[in-house]
Each structure stands twice: as structure tokens, then as C-alpha cells.
Amino acid sequence: MSDKPVLWLPRRVSDATVARARRDYDVILNEADTPCTAEEIVAMSGKVDAMMPCHSEHFTADVVSRLDPRLKIVANHSVGVDHCDLSALAAKGIAVTNTPDVLSDATAELAMLLMLGAARHAVRGDRLMRTGAWDSWSPSFMVGKQLTGARLGIVGMGRVGRAFAAKALGFDMEIHYFNRSRLSPDQEKGAKYHDSLETLLPEADFLSLHCPATPETLDLMNAERLAQLPDGAILVNSARGALVDENALISAIQRGKLAAAGLDCFKTEPGGNPKFAAHENIFMLPHIGSATSRTRDAMGFRALDNLDAFFAGKTPQDLL
Ligand code: DGY
């Protein structure tokens, strides 16, 4: 063994990340690339100084209570940290970092795809083409909802929310947003601020969620809030499944209250909600918001930058 810190990669991150990690650390890689269980995380904590988990590895209070004191830092390969009990990790003296900024554009691009796919019947159209069932055309065939000039409500104007707003401006959408605090005019770029969801929701022909999953945002879009959207609105979620009451969403889709939804995140992952599959106006993707090769390299490098700073005795830029 060298005198390099020992780093566990519980998932197969990008090749460039693995190569750089191997240069600077003694790396243990989970070649199987399966989500690691609580027992595996606990067992590995006695063998390594650092871990670079993804959102698929859960550091619950119970797991954290059983971690070996050898583990000094959890350098997440994700911006979201809802899979980590941050107060339990802090109480145990384990440093935690994440990877903000670098995935904002990729996630915002995917949110645009979700919005467009939901608005223009992508699931049904794709099925018709693949099954050879496209047998007619008429002016009323597959008529969707236009983005241009429509009102877009954004919940959470952090980095991803702002990147999404910038892309939606390219579609000439009228942007409204709700955020804990109002942005500067420079960052607002003409978007209309709402200091409550209650004023935002009735204005949102399209509503896109960009806030973290916390106890306060659990089921943020519940039956009551979905009812406040205009009839025929479209809901987009590229943030976290925890933000949406999925039964309330299905009911709103069934009743035609919502015209469609575009979802990349689900309460149960992997797998998603099997009830959604019956509805072709729910356009779904399997949590791939940040899944571009450029962004995955950038996420891995950002996590390594945080580790390098930590082991050099400096404060990592993304220390939480
Ligand atoms: C994130 O970084 O939080 C994305 O959801 C991928 O894990």
C-alpha cells in the first residue's frame, strides 16, 4: 500500500474520473456498479479514508452511527444530498461535499426535453411510429400545447432553476418564479417574482420544480397545490421525486386537470411508479438529468477537487 489516502468509488463513475482518482488515491472501485447497501457502506468505512458515493448510496442516521472512525470524508458525486443525513455526519465529524454548478446546464437541458416531450405528446407519437400504428393524419391529430408565449412557473431559482429559465427565454416563455428570496434584477432577467406558491401556481401554464428534497418540500405538489394550477397545465420534475404526491398527480392527469407531465424523478428509484405507465401523457425518463459525458466528467472532477483540498488540509470549495 502507498501512503496515498484510500478512496472508495461505490459506483463506476466516468473513465476520466477513475483515471484521475487512481493517479492520486489508492482506489477501491465497485466493479459491479450496483447500488451499495447499508452493510456494504458500513463494512467499507473501516477500510477507506474517503468515499465518493452517488445519490444511490444512502447515509441514513443508522448507517452513519455505524461508520468506522477511519472514514473522514464523503465527497458526493451529486449536487443533491438528500441521500445523506447531514446532521448525523456532522455530529460524527465526517466532512461532506457535493458537486454544484457543473450539472446545471445538463439538467436544465433535460428539463426542456421533459417540457417539450410532455407538451407535444412524445410518448404517443413515438409509440405510433414504432408499432406501425400511424395510419391517419388530420388537423386535429396529436394537437399539443405551445411553449412560445406561455407562462412558465419555476419553483426554486437556484443554479438549475436559473439555467432552465435562460433556456426557456430562448422559447420566448414568460417566466414567473417562486424562491425563498428574490433574485437581483441582473439574475432575474425580467422574470416575475412571487413571494408565495399560492400566487405563482395560478399563473403557471407550465410548472417546473427545481428545489431540493427536504422535510419542508416533501409532497410540495400535493392535491391542493395541483388544483391551484390553471386547467390543462403541464408539470415538469427534474429535481427529486419526493417533491410530488404521485397519487395526487395521477388523479390530476386522469381528471384532465393536468394536460401532461414530464418526469425524470420518482418517489421510488430505480423503477419509478408503475401506475404512471398507463398514461401516455406522462413523459418519463429514468433520472438522467446530469447524464452527459461532459457533465459526468465535471461532476467526478469536482468531487476529486473537493477531496484534494480536504487531504491538503484546505477547506473544500463545496463543503456543506
Ligand atoms: C444529482 O447530482 O443530485 C443528480 O440527481 C444525480 O445524482
Task: Give the model's pLDDT for residue 1.
Answer: 62
CA dist., res. 243 & res. 318, Å (int): 24
Q: Which of 40, 174, 203, 269 is catalytic?
A: 269
Q: How many residues does the chain have?
A: 320
Is-catalytic flag, 39? no
Question: Has 198 been annotated as catalytic?
Answer: no
Atom of ligand 1 nearest to the CA of 54: 7
Q: What's the CA-to-centroid distance between 287 and ligand 1, angstroms?
A: 8
Report how far residue 273's alpha carbon sits from residue 246's, in angstroms, rounded to the nearest whole number. Answer: 8
Query: What is the atom index within ligand 1 of the atom nearest the CA of 77?
Result: 2
d(CA 245, CA 165): 24
* Residue 274 one-letter amino acid: P
Mutational test site, ligand 1, from 11, 13, 269, 290, max ligand atoms within 8 Å of CB: 290
For the Cβ of 54 lying below 6 angstroms from any atom of ligand 1, the answer is yes
Active site residue 57: no
Burial status of residue 121 (CB atoms within 10 A of its CB: 0-12, 13-18, 19 or more): buried
Does 78 contact ligand 1 (Cβ within 6 A)?
yes
Q: Which domains does the chain have, with CATH numbers?
A: 6-102+293-311 (3.40.50.720), 104-284 (3.40.50.720)
Q: State how far Cα 292 lies from the chain centre.
A: 14
Residues linked to residue 96 through DSSP beta bridges, in sequence order:
74
Is residue 92 within a helix (H) or strand (E), and if so which, with residue range?
Answer: none
Residue nearest atom 6 of ligand 1, based on CA coordinates? 78
79 in contact with ligand 1, CB cutoff 6 A: yes
Write down the catalytic residue from 55, 240, 296, 302: 240
As a whole number of Å, the CA-based R_g of the chain is: 21
Nearest CA to ligand 1 atom 4: 78
| Atom number of ligand 1 nearest to Cα 76 | 2
Whole-prediction pTM = 0.96
Q: Which of 194, 287, 296, 302 is catalytic?
A: 287
Please work out whether the CB of residue 103 comes within 6 Å of at least one atom of ligand 1: yes
Return the H-helix or E-strand segment holding 45: helix 38-45
Cβ neighbours around 312 below 10 Å, total: 8
Low-confidence ranges of the chain (pLDDT < 50): none
Cβ of 290 closer than 6 Å to ligand 1, yes or no, is yes
Is the distance from the beta carbon of residue 76 to the nearest atom of ligand 1 less than 6 Å? no
Residue nearest to atom 2 of ligand 1 (CA): 78
Helix (H) or strand (E) holding 28: strand 26-29
Cβ–ligand 1 contact at 55 (below 6 Å) = yes
CA distance 295 to 216: 29
